Amino acid sequence: MNLKTTYLGLDLAHPIVPSASPLSENTDTARRLEDAGAPALVMYSLFEEQILDDQHRLDHFLEHGSHTFAEALTYFPEPDAYASANGEAYLEQIRRLKEHLKIPVIASLNGVSSGGWMSWAEKIEQAGADALELNIFYIPADFDHDPREIEEMYVNDVRAVRERTGLKIAVKIAPFFSSMSYMARRLEEAGADALVMFNRFYEPDFDIEQLQVKPRLKLSQSGDGLLALHWIAILRDHLKIDLAATGGIHDATDIVKALMAGADITMTASALLRRGPEHIQNLVIGLQRWMEEHEYVSVEQMKGSMSYAKVANPSAFERANYMKTLQSYRPERL
């Protein structure tokens, strides 16, 4: 049985990859993932804010110092090249992981504005990462922000990072676009080599006693990724780039569904955080067992077998399903 797949030009032994999470912060934990069979590893993100915070502190320091030592300023590099303690620690972790692991390491850069943080794509490449995941996470709460400008911002981000690195780039996005298909194609045209679908929006909760908004991180459950599943099925045959499914991948059934929709790989974080790095082995065994029982000989054979390639009008198809779902429900107590 052949579980092999390819993603971002990487040959992977199977399609179950640990997604960005704190599991990659610790080298021993990352090695446990590798020992349990992870074919690659996506690192936790380096956030734009972490890099810029350092830069702002340095800006302040430079301005302050310039009153006393004006000539000293000329010795300082351009803002983009400023050292960032957070950034340097991140690069150090890439180097450490590369030194201790044999599997490919996909770094993750998380930002949205156009700016100096993008030059870290270059540094990430120099530090030895095998590919880059660019996570663009933006909550459009500004009433004056035209949606077309927001979409342009996404596209420009990808273009700008594309210009700064030769690494293959996966773009991790949320599903909240007026036209996901249009955006997916534009991101492909801008230079994305893969889409990672989808970012989770960690809705903070209201504390009604303290009248405060409190952060809340709820790990996902099996089946939480149905939205991604449908979008992957819609996009699969209209894009050339790779697709990764993230969100709610907890067992063999979740993996098979994502592959059949057309994903090249599945990514998992919550399941590994809940059950430990070794759980990846169970997922691989589960996938193998499912394939044996259903007489599939390869992952390639499964990939996209349930995509909407043959659906002439996916919008009408989804609308028909939507209507059928609502109309088929029968309340138990009436």
Binding site for ligand FMN (CB under 6 A): 19-22, 44-45, 108, 110, 135, 172, 200, 217, 219-220, 224, 246-249, 268-271, 273
Supply the minimum distance, in Å, between the C-beta of residue 7 and ligand FMN: 15
Cα–Cα distance for residue pair 42/230, rounded to 1 Å: 23
**Nearer Cβ to ligand FMN (12/269):** 269
The residue (of 284 and 308) whose beta carbon lies closer to ligand FMN is 284
What separation in angstroms does the CA of 99 have from each of 15, 17, 102?
23, 19, 8
> In whole angstroms, how close is the CB of 146 to ligand FMN at the nearest point?
26
Nearer to ligand FMN, 252 or 308 (CB): 252
Minimum CB–partner distance for residue 86 and ligand FMN (Å): 13
The torsion angle over the Cα atoms of residues 81, 85, 86 and 90, rounded to 10 degrees, is: 80
CB 256, CB 287: distance < 8 Å: yes
Alpha helices, DSSP H, located in 128-251: 147-164, 180-190, 226-235
Measured from the CB atom, the residue of 81 and 219 that comes closer to ligand FMN is: 219
Q: How far is the CB of 178 from ligand FMN (least distance, A)?
A: 23
Query: Which one, 198 or 308, has the nearer CB to ligand FMN?
Result: 198
Q: Please name which of 267, 255, 259, 254 lies closest in space to residue 236, comparing C-alpha atoms.
A: 259
Task: Give least dist CB 191 to ligand FMN, A.
Answer: 19
Q: Which residue, chain included where needed, has tokens 């100096």? A: 116
